[in-house]
Amino acid sequence: MIRITLLMFMVTCLYGCGGNNTVQISPYANIVAFGDSLTQGVGVDKPNSYPTKLASELGIEVINSGISGQTSSQGLARLNTVLTTHMPSLIIICYGGNDVLQNKSKTQLEANLRQMIIRSKQHGAQVMLVAVPQFGLLLSPMPVYKKLADEYDLVLIEDTLPDLLGDASKKSDRVHLNAQGYALLASEIARHIEITN
């Protein structure tokens, strides 16, 4: 009986935890990667940034809208311009690293991410979240990302970035990935995107 209950729990988590598992987009979709230095691709040249690698894997243009050094508040301030300029079918949000490094309020980070999600959806975009780790002895994703993914039924890339940033062989410096790290991040994101005709 215990084994059956455990199996049911595992199946429920596999298919029901953390919001959706896949985003479906058309081959003509417009994808925007929206974030800070991890999106911009600090530590590598442009062809090795994750948005460029993702575009290669999907065969679809991915617009790199990453700006190094930005906090989530700064990202939120420019989001409307990004949405109206590019009209994305899918926006991949990866913000929070600079909030952590600058000891910004976690409450404010959550509020900013929430507004990013709401505004993106209002513009007709599907939203994918990439969780950023809280830095400490062990890197683990901040809980706010799963909370918002569950609340808004979003695809969440939860453990990939913390795992990569915890592996020195995948980093160009303390807080940025190298070419191999960005390629692995792109591959994990691509795994959750389905191209439909």
pLDDT mean over 73-99: 98
Q: Give SS3 for 94.
A: strand
Torsion of the alpha carbons at 136, 164, 75 and 70, rounded to the nearest 10:
60
Task: Confirm if 130 and 110 have CB atoms less than 8 A apart.
Answer: no
pLDDT at 63: 98
Instruction: Name residue 155's beta-bridge partners.
Output: 128
Q: Where are the domains of the chain?
A: 2-195
List pLDDT tens digits, range 30-55: 999 999 999 999 999 999 999 999 99
The CATH code of domain 2-195 reads: 3.40.50.1110
Summary mean pLDDT of the chain: 91
Find the radius of gyration of the CA atoms of the chain: 16
Instruction: Tell me what the mean pLDDT of segment 97-118 comes to.
Output: 97
Beta carbons within 10 angstroms of residue 5's beta carbon: 9
pLDDT on residue 156: 98
75 burial level (CB within 10 Å; 0-12, 13-18, 19+): buried
* Residue 139 pLDDT: 85
pLDDT in tens, 179-190: 999 999 999 999
- Is the per-residue pLDDT at 14 higher than 90? no
Name every residue whose Cβ is closer than 8 Å to that of residue 7 and which is 6 or more positions away in sequence. none
Is 193 exposed, middle or buried, given 0-12, 13-18 or 19+ CB atoms closer than 10 A?
A: buried
- Look at residue 179 in the predicted model and tell me its pLDDT: 98
Q: Quick one: average pLDDT of 77-82?
A: 99
Which residues on neighbouring strands pair with residue 65, listed in sequence order?
34
